[in-house]
Structure 1
Amino acid sequence: MARKYFGTDGIRGLTNKAPMTAQMAMQVGMAAGAHFLRGDHKHRVVIGKDTRLSGYMLENALVAGFTSVGMDVTLFGPLPTPAIGMLTKSMRADLGVMISASHNPYADNGIKLFGPDGYKLSDADELAIEALIDGDVAPADAPDIGRARRVEDARGRYIHFAKATFPDDLTLDGLRVVVDCANGAAYQVAPTTLWELGADVIAIGVSPNGKNINDQVGSTAPQVLCETVVSSGAHIGIALDGDADRLIVVDENGRVIDGDQLMAVIATGWARAGTLKNGGLVATVMSNLGLERHLSAQGIKLIRTAVGDRYVLEAMRGQGYNVGGEQSGHIILSDYATTGDGLVAALQILAELVRSGLPASELLHRFDPLPQLLKNVRFKGGKPLDDATVKAVIADAEGELTGKGRLVIRPSGTEPVIRVMAEGEDAAQVEAVVDRICNAVTAAAA
């Protein structure tokens, strides 16, 4: 059954436009609260947010919705998304909420929901909540209306948790680290965590004003980080996104290191230490073939899933793996967290850096990625991938790349776009293959 409001990562959109309005936030609070009113105990929901201006509006609307159906609300203020997952479970809450649109511009916002186990909700839970949003939710009787309060030490709790994931026998003494917090949710916790572990910290993207989240800073815009690492003589740079569930790293030369290389470093390090479960790593179909070949040479399996961290996590939980992620830097380490955690992943990279004694440029370049090209073809309607000519062109391309590369073609789940990705040993061949397929899709959609 198709979902009406929830996308691949909660509800998201342009603020004050449907569905991201104060009215909808209140309805979500009422619906989600009613859905999780189970048993006769006093029910609690915890709420965190990033630094967007609209966070205040949506937070208050959610509080109104939850308290109106009888849930008590605990407010944390700005905290990373993974912190909300962790605190939902540790505080025995029935539900957790993160108000964030992740790496999107400030004018967007979103609502992410976590169940009592700290994991994002299942499709079944989201569908049940959607039905309640569109239906009637009975408010609580006057004596049963919920209360709301703020917890001031939530940042400290998350900092303590994050530090506990760093090996006890190591410190960051003598390491100069530039951390870019994207003017987002981790602007206080990330620099503090690194400093308490001994690093010489240079922090950028730590002056949020409600409108500058992800604005020329963070994991999707690492240019300032690259420049700062080189100019300051830092050993490494760390970039988080607006809600700090993604990580991109910059080496001492200002070179950007993507999630594929970072996952290779963590997986091989954990395999060496005997802590990599099931001898494998879970990644999506978009991860580079170079990663797969590198891991294979180390005796490590690569399990591929559809695009989206929820699919990575499903495979990890279902098949017993503890490392997974995406090329974009969304890295899930399930020994520690229930979702991607940019800071925790960064601490694992820093631990490997300290142990190795190598410069970041050497440690983090584990393989040469194969040439990879992704193009999007927008269409107005129909199903161009069902066209006979398109199928024939795709079949020819697959035959051409057999043994030398990969082809991934998929429709977008949110817009009328066909995504065409190819990779192989010959960059010119990859470009030619992608262009042929894109031209065929365009012609079929005309």
Structure 2
Amino acid sequence: MGRLFGTDGVRGLANASLTPELAMRIGAAAARVLSRHDIEHSIAVVGRDPRASGEMLEAAVVAGLTSAGVDVVTVGVLPTPAVAYLTARYGACLGVMISASHNPMPDNGIKIFAAGGHKLDDAIEDRIEAAMADATVQGPTGAAIGRVRSDDEAPRHYLDHLARTGVPDLTGITLVVDCAHGAASVVGPAAYRAAGADVIAINAEPDGLNINDRCGSTHLEQVQKAVVDNDADIGIAHDGDADRCLAVDASGAVVDGDAIMAILALAMAEDGELVQRTLVATVMSNLGLHIAMRAAEIEVRTTAVGDRYVLDELRSGGYSLGGEQSGHVVFPSAGTTGDGILTALQLMRRMANTGRPLADLAAVMQTLPQVLVNVPVSDKAAVAAAQTVADAVAEAERRLGDTGRVLLRPSGTEQLVRVMVEAAEIELAQQLADRLAARVAAV
């Protein structure tokens, strides 16, 4: 059996690879590893997105936590960054978010936060996996068993937190927000309206089955059309757990995470808030971001893909802004993980403060043509070891020289290898990406 934890927790097909029994074991093991031993009952916070299987998995995780003697506060349907924030606010020893983010409804996942709302490092995840395999552990009995309570005020606590991060006056800005029928369906529009924006919410009626269904940050067509049809200033698209967002300008053009980071980095640099004039991004960020930041004399620190690695670099260097092309953006002064709602508020803050439309702000970065092909595979490790794939990558890099780049990486959450090629011309990028994808698929 391979490693249970991927780049963003444990994820799989709910009630198949991710069963209630597994969820209960994860909860119990996480409690044993992360709970405090100097108090009678540690606390855990548990939230989820609206997908139907979340109800089942929440019950299992709570059972696992309480069976290990940890008290549980359930906060219901809230974004991942809200659960991280509430973990810190309640002084909990861990937090659990049940969500598969942008994945389709049949999937689900379990994300675990340590005390303070911080994502786990690999060593702690390994300890949890080891604890799951220990069959000798005897759980508590009697009064030592954990108890469960719900906090109906949790959404208000999160909205109050957002309000304390320097929310601008967005009066006069018309916003379309696509909530992906996900965790932001209530608190997202509420946060934007509280800031004064005229909000048009779409895909904000979750029924447990429609999360991410042809909507949200992975399907931008609806928000693009709604922005144009309603003559809106900006569109925001969240994923299922709202830890990221993508934007759309008034013409319907997409403003991705790289462009959002470029806009925010320049804003923070102007205000003296960009620590060491440094932005943290992943290897997936477009070369155009690096070029734009170089022109502004802003350094870009590069990490592996995954906001946890961005967070590690932010913490180790004391930096103030980082993120991913996919729209995960992290402000360490305001949160411990990517927060799509906070990102959108800060993006609109820049619009309000400058009086400039989003398209004008986004023009600071010129995106190089980039082709990304997701190749389904049966064995990601075999692809990484294949000489035929290595030879194909080397040949593509020779073709590109200094005018582009190639990146192959296994997905941390799915049985996919992602093939990315950037080049000066889209035709060359597509040709090389297709050739590489064929080599990967043949392994």
**Alpha-carbon shift at residue 134 of structure 1 (Å):** 2.1
Contact 2:95-2:113 within 8 A present in 1 as well: yes
Contact 1:79-1:243 within 8 A present in 2 as well: yes
Contact 1:166-1:347 within 8 A present in 2 as well: no
Contact 2:234-2:358 within 8 A present in 1 as well: yes
User: 1:345: which partner in 2?
Assistant: 343
SS at match of 1:316: helix
* Cα distance between partner residues in 1 of 2:146 and 2:441: 55
User: Is residue 2:315 matched to residue 1:310?
Assistant: no
RMSD value over aligned CA atoms? 2.0
User: 1:138: which partner in 2?
Assistant: 138
Gap change, CA 1:360 and 1:29, over 3 Å in 2: same
**Alpha-carbon shift at residue 377 of structure 1 (Å):** 4.7
* Cα distance between partner residues in 1 of 2:317 and 2:80: 24
User: 2:191: which partner in 1?
Assistant: 193
Gap change, CA 1:180 and 1:122, over 3 Å in 2: same
Contact 1:180-1:218 within 8 A present in 2 as well: yes
Gap change, CA 1:11 and 1:197, over 3 Å in 2: same
**Alpha-carbon shift at residue 176 of structure 1 (Å):** 1.1
Q: Bigger shift: 386-395 or 85-94?
A: 386-395
User: 1:252: which partner in 2?
Assistant: 250
**Alpha-carbon shift at residue 103 of structure 1 (Å):** 0.8
Letter in structure 2 aligned against 1:75: T
Residue by residue over 1:373-405, the C-alpha shift from the partner in whole angstroms, topping out at 9 and shown as x without a partner, is: 223455566845655565444334323322212
* Cα distance between partner residues in 2 of 1:415 and 1:199: 37
- For structure 2, the 5+ residue unaligned runs are none
User: 1:155: which partner in 2?
Assistant: 155
TM-score, normalisation: structure 1:
0.93
User: 1:299: which partner in 2?
Assistant: 297
Residue by residue over 1:297-328, the C-alpha shift from the partner in whole angstroms, topping out at 9 and shown as x without a partner, is: 00011122222222221222122222111111
User: 1:366: which partner in 2?
Assistant: 364
User: 2:203: which partner in 1?
Assistant: 205
Residue by residue over 1:403-445, the C-alpha shift from the partner in whole angstroms, topping out at 9 and shown as x without a partner, is: 21222233445666543322121333333433444455566x3
SS at match of 2:373: strand
* Cα distance between partner residues in 1 of 2:63 and 2:439: 52
Question: In structure 1, which of residues 249, 263, 285 is the aligned counterpart of residue 283 of structure 2?
Answer: 285
* Cα distance between partner residues in 1 of 2:102 and 2:117: 21
User: Is residue 2:410 matched to residue 1:401?
Assistant: no
Contact 1:182-1:242 within 8 A present in 2 as well: yes
TM-score, normalisation: structure 2:
0.94
Gap change, CA 1:40 and 1:364, over 3 Å in 2: same
* Cα distance between partner residues in 1 of 2:358 and 2:288: 19
Residue by residue over 1:161-207, the C-alpha shift from the partner in whole angstroms, topping out at 9 and shown as x without a partner, is: 1122134xx40111111111111111111111111111111111211
User: Is residue 2:59 matched to residue 1:56?
Assistant: no
SS at match of 2:169: coil
* Cα distance between partner residues in 1 of 2:10 and 2:187: 25
**Alpha-carbon shift at residue 67 of structure 1 (Å):** 1.5
Contact 2:8-2:413 within 8 A present in 1 as well: no
Gap change, CA 1:186 and 1:380, over 3 Å in 2: closer
* Cα distance between partner residues in 2 of 1:436 and 1:183: 37
Gap change, CA 1:166 and 1:3, over 3 Å in 2: farther
* Cα distance between partner residues in 2 of 1:400 and 1:391: 14
Gap change, CA 1:227 and 1:441, over 3 Å in 2: closer
**Alpha-carbon shift at residue 152 of structure 1 (Å):** 0.8
**Alpha-carbon shift at residue 364 of structure 1 (Å):** 2.4
**Alpha-carbon shift at residue 85 of structure 1 (Å):** 0.8
SS at match of 1:219: helix
Contact 1:96-1:116 within 8 A present in 2 as well: yes
SS at match of 2:177: strand
User: 1:243: which partner in 2?
Assistant: 241
Gap change, CA 1:366 and 1:62, over 3 Å in 2: same
Residue by residue over 1:334-367, the C-alpha shift from the partner in whole angstroms, topping out at 9 and shown as x without a partner, is: 1111111000011110000001111222122322
User: 1:126: which partner in 2?
Assistant: 125
Contact 2:35-2:94 within 8 A present in 1 as well: no
User: 2:331: which partner in 1?
Assistant: 333
User: 1:34: which partner in 2?
Assistant: 32
User: 1:276: which partner in 2?
Assistant: 274
* Cα distance between partner residues in 2 of 1:80 and 1:275: 26
Letter in structure 2 aligned against 1:103: H
Letter in structure 1 aligned against 2:121: S
* Cα distance between partner residues in 2 of 1:380 and 1:107: 20
Q: How many residues align?
A: 440
Contact 1:3-1:127 within 8 A present in 2 as well: no
Give percent identity, aligned residues only.
46
SS at match of 1:77: strand
User: Is residue 2:214 matched to residue 1:216?
Assistant: yes
Contact 2:8-2:412 within 8 A present in 1 as well: no
Letter in structure 1 aligned against 2:182: G
Gap change, CA 1:366 and 1:206, over 3 Å in 2: same
- For structure 1, the 5+ residue unaligned runs are none
Letter in structure 2 aligned against 1:433: L
SS at match of 2:218: coil
